[in-house]
Amino acid sequence: MTIPKNIFTELKSRGMVHDVIEGLPEILAGQSVTLYNGFDPTADSLHVGHMVPMLALARWQRCGHHVIALAGGGTGMIGDPSGKSDERNLLGPDEIHHNVEMIQKQLAHFLDFDVKTNPARIMNNADWLNQLNLIDFLRSIGKHFTVNAMLAKDAVKSRIDRESGISFTEFSYSLLQSYDFYHLYRNYGCTVQAGGSDQWGNITAGVELIRRKLGQTAYGIVYPLIKKKDGTKFGKTAGGAVWLDPKRTSPYKFYQFWLNADDSDVIDFIRFYTFFTPEKIAELEDKTANRPEERAAQRALAEEMTYLMHGQEALDKARQATSALFGGDIDGLSADDIQDIFADVPSKTIRPSDLTGAPVDLAAFLSETSGFLKSKGEARRAIAEGGIYLNNHRADNAAAVVTRSDFIEGAFLVLRRGKKNYFLVRLSEE
C-alpha cells in the first residue's frame, strides 16, 4: 500500500493532530527528520491505547523519517504524573528491566529495524539517566526550569489540589523527560518529540531546554487521547485493559475487542489504527452508514489489528473461535481457546469419577450429571428433535455413552441446545 510522503498531511487527514509546535508542518513538507516517542515500562506489556503512538511511529518511518522508540528504563523508575490522580507505585530495577525487554519485543511488531535507508531504533533512557550526577544535573539542567512554570502544568496542578498532593519524585519527572529530548537532540540529531496530548507540557519543556542550552529549535507534535463517543476510556473492558501480550489478552479476546466497536466509533478507530487508504475508509464508512447490520467496518478493523499484532495464524484461530459461538467448527481449538470463547456462558465443573463406574448415557449427562437440562425426559425430547450439540456436532443418540474422551484436551465439553443456548462442562483434575 502507498503511504503519502508528507506525514503531517497524512496525520491531519486522519484526525491525529491534537497540537503541534509552529513551523513543524512546513519542515515536514520538504525534508526528513529524526523523531522519538517514549514508552514508560510501568507494566510488562503495552495496551491498545499505546498503539496510536506505536503505529504513528510506523507511519513516520514509512514516510521516510528516522524514528526512535524510547523505552523509559530510567524515567520508569520515577513515574509520569501526567493523567494520573494518585502517586504511582515505584517499581524495582529488575521489574523495570523485564518490562523494557517485553515492550521492545512488542514494538518490533510495527517498526522495521532492518531496512537499510532509515531503520528504526530502540533506545533505553536508563543508559544515560542512570549515569547522571545529582549536583551536576541540578546545576546544568535544573536551573533552566522555574517552579512557577512547573506548577502551571496541568499534570501538576491537578495533583496539588488533591489531599494526597504530588511528591517531589513525580514533580521532577518533567526535567528527566526534557533531558531525554536534549540528549537525543545533541547526540542523534533528534529534532521532534511525539506523544499523546497528555505529554504536551513535558514536550514543550524539552523544546525550551534545547533552546536555552543549545540555542537551537526543536519541535513537538501530540496525538489526541482516544476516547469513545460516549466519553468512556478507550482500551478498557469489563475484564480490564486490552493488552498486546497474548498471555494477558488472548488473540481471540483482542479480536473481539475490535469486532465489538460501536458504529459511532469504528470509523475513527480505523483512521487512527489502520493503514487503510482513504478510499477503503470511505467505502467502510458508507457501509456502516447504510448497511450497519453487516458490521463490515468492525470485521475489517478486527482482522487488520489482530494480523498486525499477532500474525496470520492467530487471526485464523480468532476467526474460528468467533465462528464457534455461532455453531462453527470447534475441532482443533485448544482447551485455552474454549475457556476464552465460552468464559461467559453457564457452566458446571464435574469430577472424572462422575464418568466412571456405571456408563453415563447422553440423556443422563445432559440432565443429572451436568444440570444443563431439567430432566432425562426433556433431554430425550431435545435429542430426538435434533437440537442437541456436543462440541458443535449434532448428537442424535440419547443412549450414547459420554466419556472423558469427549472432552477437549480432557478438560472441556461444550453443550448447545438450538442455535445459541450454550453450556460449558469442566472436568476437574481430581
Residues annotated as part of the active site: 42, 47, 50, 84, 88, 177, 198, 233, 236-237
> DSSP for 26-68?
HHHTT---EEEEEE--SSSS-BGGGHHHHHHHHHHHHTT-EEE
Torsion of CA 107, 112, 118, 121, to 10 degrees: 30
Q: Distance between CA atoms of 280 and 259, rounded to whole angstroms?
A: 18
The sheet carrying 412-417 orders its strands as: 347-350, 421-427, 412-417, 388-390, 393-394
Q: Distance between CA atoms of 198 and 196, rounded to whole angstroms?
A: 5
Assigned C-alpha cell, 262:
460501536
Q: Distance between CA atoms of 423 and 156, rounded to whole angstroms?
A: 51
Q: Are 61 and 94 in contact (CB under 8 A)?
A: no
Torsion of CA 294, 295, 301, 306, to 10 degrees: -90
Closest CA to 57 of 120, 137, 141, 144: 120
Closest CA to 8 of 379, 19, 79: 19
Q: Which residues of 204-216 are buried (b: 16+ CB within 10 A; e: fewer)?
A: bbbbbbbeebeee
Phi, psi values for residue 314, rounded to 5°: -65, -40
Assigned C-alpha cell, 382:
431435545
Q: Are 254 and 309 in contact (CB under 8 A)?
A: yes
Q: Distance between CA atoms of 124 and 134, rounded to whole angstroms?
A: 20
Q: What share of the chain is helix, strand, coil (3-state, %, to 5)?
A: 50, 15, 40
